[in-house]
């Protein structure tokens, strides 16, 4: 007899952020697939019952039957789980193919990415639901970009269109036979002290009617509590052994001149060009350069490297980037969660994670659906069912 806890299989698990949210809602992770050695050590440290399977694994070489077998072992039911018996498959395939931050020509066809392994495993396991997370760039990314005079025929023109990568993703999900909705969610709307937007896809095998969880916080605070701020998250945090990568003296020279909430634009006019170097004449807002965070706003998106020049996450008062523990708190990891690896690796694991409170809001919603309750959902123009998508 399978345990009462609902069963979850996790792909591209990372540091377990998405899984922690699922756990808090009542799901039980019984198998994980992650290729990064430090991330798997993090999982094993915090969830010893997963130690045997929390080892670096290449998802392209993983068979769904292997995951079902592991699930039966973790649940101690004396047999392999059956196809269709898993409640939930979750994961965030690596976002690099959909990134809009790099060269325009670097956008890739999702059909050639690890996204297809996510689709493959969902098809083979047939969970009741799946949740996939990705970067907002997926909504507008073309499959490739070339000058108009180098394009040949309608197929090339379609590949060049904004949103071409999303169309491929939706077509692949539609082929699974699942009813799927997707939307761009703001983590701050769910109690995360951070502005972080991510695309969330939810698929239902049994064609339940559903939307997305309603927000619990708002920017204006009129009908809901206001967004949580950096002050709410870390002002009283006691970190006896702070871990961070110190700034060079060259960076400190400029950061010393800035106050909380300021960036390079607040430097003396004669120092702006000197501080920015070649980036001075580049386009864009460049708001992340020499940025000192504001106490009274949510944190900007926690990145994988908060001391980088273009994505600075300098403490509002101290001359250092956010520490490992501060970054984890902003991502709403529990205080006792331990990260394995070097300081750089820990930053990477935290920056790549789904905020735990955002994950919990999504999983609470799905949990209630499975339990036969009708959760309150938010109606959104962007939300589409694949059975009506064209």
Catalytic residue positions, numbered: 95
How many alpha carbons fall within 13 Å on the CB side of residue 230?
22
Sort strands 27-33 and 377-378 into parallel, antiparallel or unpaired: unpaired
Q: Residue 272 burial (CB < 10 Å; 0-12/13-18/19+)?
A: middle
Among 233, 246, 253, which Cα is nearest to 326's? 233
Separation of alpha carbons 36 and 54, rounded Å = 10
- Output phi, psi for 168, to 5 deg: -65, -45
Compute CA distances 154 → 98, 110, 142, whole Å.
Answer: 22, 19, 14
- Say how many residues make up the chain: 390
Helix (H, G, I), strand (E, B) or coil at 303: coil
- Running DSSP on this structure, what letter comes out for residue 24? H
Q: In what order do the strands lie in the sheet with 179-186?
A: 27-33, 6-11, 88-91, 129-135, 197-204, 179-186
The rounded Cα 369 to chain-centroid distance in angstroms is: 23
- For 149-179, b/e burial (b = at least 16 CB within 10 A) is eeeeeeeeeebbeeebbbbbbbebbbebebb
Separation of alpha carbons 285 and 273, rounded Å = 15
The rounded Cα 71 to chain-centroid distance in angstroms is: 24
């Amino acid at each position: 007899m399978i345990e009462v806890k609902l069963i979850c299989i996790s792909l591209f698990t990372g540091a377990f952020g998405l899984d922690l949210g699922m756990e808090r809602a009542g799901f039980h992770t019984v198998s994980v697939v992650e290729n990064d050695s430090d991330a798997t050590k993090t999982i094993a440290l915090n969830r010893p019952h997963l130690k045997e399977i929390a080892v670096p694994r290449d998802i392209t070489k993983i068979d769904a039957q292997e995951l079902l077998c592991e699930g039966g072992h973790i649940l101690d039911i004396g047999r392999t789980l059956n196809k269709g018996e898993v409640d939930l498959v979750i994961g965030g395939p690596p976002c690099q193919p959909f990134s809009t931050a790099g060269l325009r020509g670097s956008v890739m066809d999702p059909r050639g990415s690890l996204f297809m392994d996510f689709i493959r495993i969902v098809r083979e396991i047939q969970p009741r639901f799946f949740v996939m997370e990705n970067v907002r760039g997926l909504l507008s990314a073309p499959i490739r970009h070339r000058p108009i005079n180098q394009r040949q025929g309608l197929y090339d023109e379609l590949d060049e269109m904004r949103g071409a990568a999303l169309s491929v993703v939706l077509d692949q999900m539609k082929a699974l036979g699942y009813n799927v909705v997707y939307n761009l969610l703001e983590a701050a709307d769910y109690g995360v002290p951070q502005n972080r937007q991510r695309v969330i896809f939810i698929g239902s095998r049994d064609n339940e009617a559903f939307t997305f969880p309603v927000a619990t916080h708002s920017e204006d605070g009129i009908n809901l509590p206001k967004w949580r701020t950096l002050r709410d998250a870390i002002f009283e945090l006691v970190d006896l052994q702070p871990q961070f990568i110190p700034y060079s003296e060259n960076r400190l020279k400029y950061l010393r001149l800035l106050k909380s909430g300021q960036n390079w634009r607040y430097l003396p006019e004669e120092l702006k060009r000197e501080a920015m170097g070649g980036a001075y004449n580049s386009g864009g807002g460049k708001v992340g350069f020499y940025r000192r965070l504001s106490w009274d706003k949510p944190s900007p998106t926690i990145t994988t490297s908060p001391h980088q020049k273009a994505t600075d996450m300098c403490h509002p008062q101290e001359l250092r980037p956010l520490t490992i523990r501060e970054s984890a708190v902003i991502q709403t990891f529990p205080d006792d969660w331990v990260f394995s690896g070097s300081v750089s690796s820990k930053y990477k694991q935290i920056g790549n994670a789904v905020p735990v409170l955002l994950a919990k809001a999504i999983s609470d919603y799905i949990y209630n659906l499975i339990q036969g309750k009708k959760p309150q959902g938010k109606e959104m123009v962007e939300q589409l069912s694949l059975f009506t998508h064209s």
